[in-house]
Each structure stands twice: as structure tokens, then as C-alpha cells.
Chains A and B, each alone.
Chain A
């Protein structure tokens, strides 16, 4: 999605003769090693207990789709204004909190029923609107003014915004996690010995179409084209008559909506909401975005699923580092990616060297 015209990269590796440096070799070797170890680890567990493996895989996909939704927001925003919106994860949290407040508390929709399913859909839409609205507001009030400021300023502002949103969450539901009595049925069913919760199916049923719709919007609609053009070259887009401000607002709106959807689905399927939900998941989601290739919608989905799987494997498999190392693992992946392959899987490999 992001392909800068080569002439404008000052010290980029474009006109550079490809030198085979020792560090490049080291990197290739370590990548092979890491992948080898990962395959070995997974294979070990697969043969050890295939049922558990399949189960954990399903869980991973489950979480992965939610991560993908959140990652989408990060990747779209970064693609268009090159800003890591630190507050995005907390936006997701607010979506979860809002949906809890509205659906579970105010409307009292707990437990499965036709009426509650209908309410769920309504609240889903409302949550998406709510988060879109907040995201757009943040952009208008804070980020827009700093668009041309030195790099540090919008970054620090985003961090500050994250704190503000967390505070709102704190005030809204308190410092302790709250239980959400979901409207979704808690039943499971079995396929070939693997237990799949109905909730998981619902997640698939909601997120997959949502992702398809979002992909459609970004790739096929006029607005989506404007987004991609602006992400590539803001000045050129402006000259072509694209309203850059509006396009950026639109991007934030979509990102917010995706986060909101993820929020309500999270609340309804995991059953817990806490004010600091956003921080942890935000980093996981951003790692997913980077893994898939920042600025690339499909990359966000791919990255989300992979990270979801990795985390699930680490949490759930019998043989492995164990749950207490999951977070460290994800962060390590993030760091390795940033250093060695910031373009991720589907993005460009050119590193902007200092």
C-alpha cells in the first residue's frame, strides 16, 4: 500500500549496490533458526496431543480475528499520517466499556434470546459509531494541529491521549475488571473431538464479514482510493483534488469503527472488561500490524491471526514457555520485526537507515 517514489528517499537503499554484509547473513541465519525452532515446537505439540493442538489453534484464530480488527485501525492510521496512534488500544477498551454499559447494564440484555440478539446488533452498530466519533474527535482536536510539528509532538500527544482515555475508562467502570453477562449462548459443540464454543463461531460470523466490508471500502470505493492515494503521497493527492483532511477524518472513522466492533465482541465473548484492557491488547494489535506490514490492510489481518495463534499456542500448549512468557514473546517479536524487517510480511523491505 505504501510505496514511496524512490527519488524522495534521501538515504534509502534504492540506488545502493546490494552489499552482502555480515549482519545481513546473520539476520538470514537467525531467521531460519527462529522459524526452525518454532516449527519444531509446534510439531512437538501437534504429535503430543493433536486434539489440544487443534483446540488451541481454534482459540488462536478466535483471538486473532479480534486482534486483526484492532490492528486494522493502527495500520490504516499509520499508513495515512505516519503516526502510531497510541490511544487506539484504549479506544477499543472504551468500545468494550460502552457496549457493556449500554447492552448489559442499561438495556439489561443478558443471556441468549432473539430479542437480545437483535439488541446486540443494534448496540454493535452504536458502538462502532461511538468509537468512530471519538476517534474523529481526537484527530480534529489534537492530531490535526500537530500534523506539521516536529515528530516528537504528535507522538507524545498520542501517549497523553492514551492516558486520558484510560482515565475515562477508569472513571466509567472503576479500577476492577467487570463481568459481562453475555447475550451469546455459552454452549459448545464438538467436531471430531474438538470443542468449539458457539461464541467462537459468532466471532467468525461477525468479524469476517466486517473485514470483508472494510477491505471492500478501502480497495474499491472512491473514498478508499483517496485513502490509499493520500497514504502514498499527500501533496500529489491534494493536487489531484483529493480533500486530504476529509480523507484523514474518514480513515480515523473507519479505524474507530473497527475498534468499536472489536470492543463489543471482546466484551461479549471473553466476558470481562477492564480499564487497562487497551494497553496490553494495543501493543499486541500493533505488533500484528507491523508483522503483516504497516499500512497494509491484508497484512493487519494476517498479522493478527498469526499473533493470535502464537499467543494461544504459548498459553495453551503443554510443551512450551508458558503463559507467563506470552507477553514477552509478543514484544520480542515486535522488536525483532522493527529491527530486521520493519516492512513486515507483506510490506516493503527497504529500511530507512540513519
Chain B
């Protein structure tokens, strides 16, 4: 069971304080290699703040983030990303005025080498690099199922296609870990089910470890191997879907939102 594997991402005693406010309260969290895990919790639980610490956007007041056995706390965001930690955004943040293919190619920036002169004079190396990048981008677009819209401006794509494009773009970083921020927001049950399949396929095909932040409990229950629950900045439960579903503290945390959701 992949949950016993080593932790490809290991967040240790993460504490985030803003002035007097404690957003994340000494949370430790791991993502075992090759697993699919979820992070849930009511609004204001600190999920997004924690998420931002993992990706390097915020730095924790104390604590450390270890990625692939290397500490990345305090590293610049782009280095963390190019090191193999990719994410999608809750509110889609594509580069609307660039084509789908260009969006994906932007994420390849750190893996490409062409400098100013090579670009201007289209050296053989640069041309080959560009062709390979285009090919790989197309491959990713095909993989997520939007291969036909390669040259469409991202802004013009349908919502579902945009979500897929976000994933394709993240995959272009050749990530070891993929963080998905509320990936099924705005999806209907069919789309969510298709998404669950897709996440499983991702793990099977590419061996990527996946972390989801989600509100849709059915998705969470179906796809997660392990669920971690945050409430008011603290980790209040962690375990398999069955364990979490029946955990009284979890249900209590969600009461007031919709207890029925948590007990689905």
C-alpha cells in the first residue's frame, strides 16, 4: 500500500502566524510517495494558507518543508515549482491571451535553455528545443483530453477544458508531486466522476503523488487513500475515508456547514 512509502513531501510542525492571528497551528503533514491524499476542513480552517506554505508562497513562522529529502523552506517559488512541485489554482489562473499550447510551454520555461541569441537567430539547438517543447505540450494536451484546442486562446476555452488545461500546464513541470486546489469546483456529478477517474489514471500512469484540497465530499471519499482534516489551523484527524467519515470530531467541525455532507 503506497501509504507506507517514504514521504515525498514532509511538512514538519508548520506554524503560520500573521500578527496575532494563528492561521496554521503546528501542523505536521506528509505525502507518501505515489499516493493520493486529501486535505479537507471547513472554511477558514487554514487549508489554503497551509497549501501556500507547501508551495513556497508563504513562509512559515516556524517549521520546515522537506521535498524529496531536501528542505525547501524559504526557497523561491519558481525554484520549488521547477524542482517538481506543481499546482493548479482554485480560481483558474491561465494565461488567457496565450494559446493552450503556449500555456503549457510556459511551464517548461525552467527546463528549456535557449538564451537571447539562440532565440533571435533560431540556432539548430533552439529549433530542436522548441519543436520538442511543442511536441511535449501537444502530448500533454492530448493526455488530459483537450488535444484539439491546441491553438485556441485559453480565454476562449470552456470551463471544463480550462480546468484540464491547468492540469496539463502543471504536468509540464514533470512534477513528482501535484497539488490540486479545489479541482472540481463548478463541476457537475458526471464531470466530478470523470475527474476521479482521471486522478487515478494520473497516479497509475505517471507515478505522481497527488494532494487535493476539496470541498466535494463524494470526490474526496472516492479518490483519497488518506484524508487529513484541518479545523481552525489544527489537524484534528487523519486516516482512511472510512475512518474520517465516522470520526465524531470531524462531523462536529462540519456541523453548521452541512453535517450531511460529512457523513456521505
Contacts and interface: CB of A to CB of B under 8 A. Distances in A.
Interface of A: 6-7, 10-11, 14-17, 19
24 contacts: A6-B18, A6-B21, A7-B18, A7-B21, A7-B23, A10-B57, A11-B57, A11-B58, A11-B77, A14-B18, A14-B19, A15-B16, A15-B17, A15-B18, A15-B58, A15-B59, A15-B60, A15-B61, A16-B59, A17-B59, A17-B61, A17-B62, A17-B74, A19-B74
A11 B61 CA distance: 13
B61 A6 contact: no
Task: Determine the interface band of chain B, counting residues with CB < 8 A from chain A.
Answer: 10 to 19
Nearest to A10: B57
B59 A6 contact: no
B63 to A, nearest CB: 10
Interface of B: 16-19, 21, 23, 57-62, 74, 77
Residue picked from A11, A14, A15, A16, most chain B C-beta under 10 Å: A15
**4 closest Cβ pairs, A-B complex:** A6-B18, A16-B59, A7-B18, A6-B19
B246 to A, nearest CB: 34
A175 to B, nearest CB: 43
Nearest to B73: A17
A15 B16 CA distance: 6
Nearest to B19: A6
Contacts of B59: 15-17
Nearest to B49: A7
Given A11-B58, A11-B77, A15-B17, 10 more contacts: A7-B18, A7-B21, A7-B23, A10-B57, A11-B57, A14-B18, A15-B60, A17-B59, A17-B74, A19-B74
Nearest to B23: A7
Contacts of B57: 10-11
B70 to A, nearest CB: 18
Contacts of A14: 18-19
Contacts of A17: 59, 61-62, 74
A10 B48 CA distance: 12
Contacts of A19: 74
A245 to B, nearest CB: 27
Nearest to B58: A15
Nearest to A11: B57
A14 B77 CA distance: 16
Contacts of B74: 17, 19
Residue picked from B23, B58, B74, most chain A C-beta under 10 Å: B58
Contacts of A6: 18-19, 21
A11 B18 CA distance: 12
A10 B77 CA distance: 12
A14 B49 CA distance: 13
B27 to A, nearest CB: 14
A11 B59 CA distance: 9
A16 to B, nearest CB: 5
Nearest to B21: A7
A348 to B, nearest CB: 13
Contacts of B21: 6-7
Contacts of B18: 6-7, 14-15
A17 B62 CA distance: 8
Nearest to B52: A10
A15 B17 CA distance: 6
A346 B162 CA distance: 46
A6 B59 CA distance: 13
Contacts of B23: 7
A277 B74 CA distance: 48
A9 to B, nearest CB: 9
A329 to B, nearest CB: 35
A91 to B, nearest CB: 36
A189 B175 CA distance: 78
Contacts of A11: 57-58, 77
A19 B74 CA distance: 10
Nearest to A7: B18
A4 to B, nearest CB: 11
B50 to A, nearest CB: 12
Residue picked from B18, B23, B62, most chain A C-beta under 10 Å: B18
A6 B62 CA distance: 17
A182 B102 CA distance: 65
Contacts of A16: 59
A13 to B, nearest CB: 9
A151 to B, nearest CB: 16
Nearest to B62: A17
Nearest to B18: A6
A233 to B, nearest CB: 15
Contacts of B58: 11, 15
